[in-house]
Structure 1
């Protein structure tokens, strides 16, 4: 569906607001790349001869060679941003969209392929035999790095229920089809799985889906933009499901600060 003029104008406003944060996040990532490029590459058994030749006398098996500075490394990664579009997100969706714009513009500027997908369950159509789960691809991998590709994410809106474990398993399958070395799933949610016969069991099922994705080689990170005060119970729920790879912040302006250490660690694995 083609974005409306109002959505395009709204996206411009959001991207302008997110620009300073996106630049900050991009600088951190580029600095990580540069540090990887200029990191010492000495103590080798072959290469160029190091000037510190005294080690040939004082060390039993000295490594006297080094390798010259490597070319600028590349990021071999793909990101999937899964967005909880359940009714409980109604008071957090605006803040979540700002976070999505921040990520989209940062990844787009770095030419990192990504997709943004909203999910929810249609409670009106749930039966004993079927629980219809719907997925809305707002940004796809093929066009994610194109100018103006993020506008459609503004069409994501709170709907009804959310069966997080099922959505994470489906996104895991999609990401596993990607050929990149590092594949990252970011789950934007308030950590409250809620659907028919899924309330208490939903937390356990979601946790199992996260563990399964990690066993298959994916990195899974939760992002909860609370749009206000963060309650201790919310933090505990997110930690129980996602472990240490959970980011809970009351305002999107704090997102780069909390997420940067996690992203730096992940991206260092993807650099070649």
Structure 2
């Protein structure tokens, strides 16, 4: 991926390097005989957001999940791709009929993701309470749309269906709608299902109903670090 370069020359200029094709001296009244070769660029016109489900059910999977997130962070850092890492959850103990307190733990924002010695902040992610995924995805989508990059990728790391007060089956539908809304705005949304054993048909169907084909079912969270390379490669190929 580091071979991604922009080296096409700009032709027909009034100054620069002299072209080998000098026929325009004879054929053109004002010949343009020079060209310039742009400098190589290793920068990707892309941003990533890694959303991490911090619900209580992530208790057995959070440590391995953080290892995978660290690898994403380090590689995106090396490629100089701005990225945000956000944990999300809902405080189940204070939920009321008209009030559902949702929280976002911003580990990295797009503006500070390259800061030195910031990788350790990822270890602050911890399992908390419930998860109202649709709402959280909409909030993050709005933040991503404020950026000017042409390619936007949203990876949602979760262990299954949304779980919050009065949000059971409605939560699946609402999250599906939130994902569809983000995609219509040009954001690639990928659901990353984190399991700690065999994935049953119901779990796969739930993720399919929410994310469609753009989902990755990870049977063992410990495999996440090994799986992240082909995922990242596939996504970055879209930016070329």
Q: Work out the CA distance in 1 between the residues paired with 2:40 and 2:111.
A: 27
Q: Relative to structure 2, which stretch is displaced further, 241-250 or 172-181?
A: 241-250
Match status 1:30 vs 2:2: yes
CA displacement, residues 208-266 of structure 1 (integer Å, 9 cap, x when unaligned): 00000000110101112323333332222112211111111123564466555554443
Q: Classify 1:73/1:107 alpha carbon distance in 2 versus 1 (closer, same or farther; 3 Å).
A: closer
SS, match of residue 165 in structure 1: helix
User: How many residues are treated as equivalent by the alignment?
Assistant: 215
- Equivalent residue, structure 2, for 1:165: 134
Q: Work out the CA distance in 1 between the residues paired with 2:169 and 2:226.
A: 32
CA displacement, residues 119-174 of structure 1 (integer Å, 9 cap, x when unaligned): 11111111112111111101122221222212112111111111000000000000
Gaps of 5+ in 2: 9-18, 22-36
**Structure 1 residue aligned with 2:177, among 184, 205, 208?**
208
- Equivalent residue, structure 2, for 1:238: 207
Q: Please, what is the CA RMSD of the aligned residues? A: 2.6
CA contact (8 A) 1:98 1:252 kept: no
Q: Classify 1:125/1:112 alpha carbon distance in 2 versus 1 (closer, same or farther; 3 Å).
A: same
The alpha carbon displacement at 1:48 in A equals: 9.2
- Equivalent residue, structure 2, for 1:84: 53
Q: Work out the CA distance in 2 between the residues paired with 1:130 and 1:204.
A: 20
Q: Classify 1:252/1:191 alpha carbon distance in 2 versus 1 (closer, same or farther; 3 Å).
A: closer
> Which has a greater percent of helix?
1
Q: Classify 1:158/1:71 alpha carbon distance in 2 versus 1 (closer, same or farther; 3 Å).
A: same
Q: TM-score, normalised by structure 2?
A: 0.80
- The 5 A counterparts of 1:118-267 are 118-252=87-221, 254-255=223-224, 260=229, 262-267=231-236
CA displacement, residues 75-115 of structure 1 (integer Å, 9 cap, x when unaligned): 11111111110011111111211111111111111111101
Q: Work out the CA distance in 1 between the residues paired with 2:114 and 2:44.
A: 14
CA contact (8 A) 2:138 2:182 kept: yes
- The 5 A counterparts of 1:35-74 are 71-74=40-43
Q: Relative to structure 2, which stretch is displaced further, 149-158 or 224-233?
A: 224-233
- Equivalent residue, structure 2, for 1:14: none
Q: Work out the CA distance in 2 between the residues paired with 1:239 and 1:148.
A: 37
Q: Work out the CA distance in 1 between the residues paired with 2:230 and 2:7.
A: 19
Q: Relative to structure 2, which stretch is displaced further, 233-242 or 262-271?
A: 262-271
Q: Classify 1:141/1:81 alpha carbon distance in 2 versus 1 (closer, same or farther; 3 Å).
A: same
Q: Work out the CA distance in 2 between the residues paired with 1:127 and 1:239.
A: 30
- The 5 A counterparts of 1:90-105 are 90-105=59-74
Which of the two has higher C-alpha Rg? 2
Gaps of 5+ in 1: 1-28, 39-46, 50-67
Q: Work out the CA distance in 1 between the residues paired with 2:226 and 2:38.
A: 30
Q: Work out the CA distance in 2 between the residues paired with 1:74 and 1:255.
A: 26
